[in-house]
Amino acid sequence: MTLYHGVCIGQNCIVHSGAVIGADGFGFANQQGKWEKIAQLGGVSIANDVEIGANSTIDRGALQDTVIETGVKIDNQVMVAHNVRIGSHTAIAACVGISGSTEIGSHCMIAGGVGFAGHLKICDRVFITAMSFVTGSIKEPGSYSSGTAMMPTPQWKKNSVRLKQLDELTKQVRQLEKQITKLRDQDQ
């Protein structure tokens, strides 16, 4: 494991091999067409009874600390970006990516392969199913899913095109339903 400066780890924590804690977050600003590095001045604060899996990374905060609260369990190959806060007793399975400044509540369960957009707030007691992509904040406890099941590429392409047409198809179906109702009323 690699620990950078500004990392504070509580008691009874387990950090597996290959984990990197406290590296710079992905902070860059585009200045006249050139990416300039933004200094990452925060640290990482890890509370008691946390377990961090092999080859997981937890970036330091940009200005304030990235925070992992008591009892959090992080599986292998999880990426926690700068300024993230993970609430107590949350469990995160392998291959999850949490973008910067996202806050995840307490007692959440995040299944494998989930991706979080940045600057989100996830309330307590949320379960997110495997391979979901979270693009908005979640304000109500419960189970959430996204994505599509695997299928042959030609079928996926057809479905993707149809999905874009869904609003128009819905309007057409409603018009047809009205016409059918009108015809039925005329027959009676």
Domains in the chain: boundaries:
2-144, 153-187
Confidence at 101, pLDDT banded by 50, 70, 90: very high
pTM: 0.86
Would you state the structure tokens that stand for residue 176, as one six-digit string? 């047809």
Cβ atoms of residues 58 and 76 within 8 Å:
no
What CATH class does 2-144 carry?
mainly beta
Known catalytic membership, residue 82: yes
Query: Rounded CA gap, 137 and 156, in Å?
Result: 27
Cβ atoms of residues 94 and 112 within 8 Å:
yes
Q: Which of 93, 12, 84, 4 is nearest to 47 (CA)?
A: 12
Catalytic residue, chosen from 82, 89, 107, 119, is 82
Please give the average per-residue pLDDT across 98-111, as a whole number: 99
Query: Rounded CA gap, 68 and 52, in Å?
Result: 10
Please give the average per-residue pLDDT across 146-173, as a whole number: 90
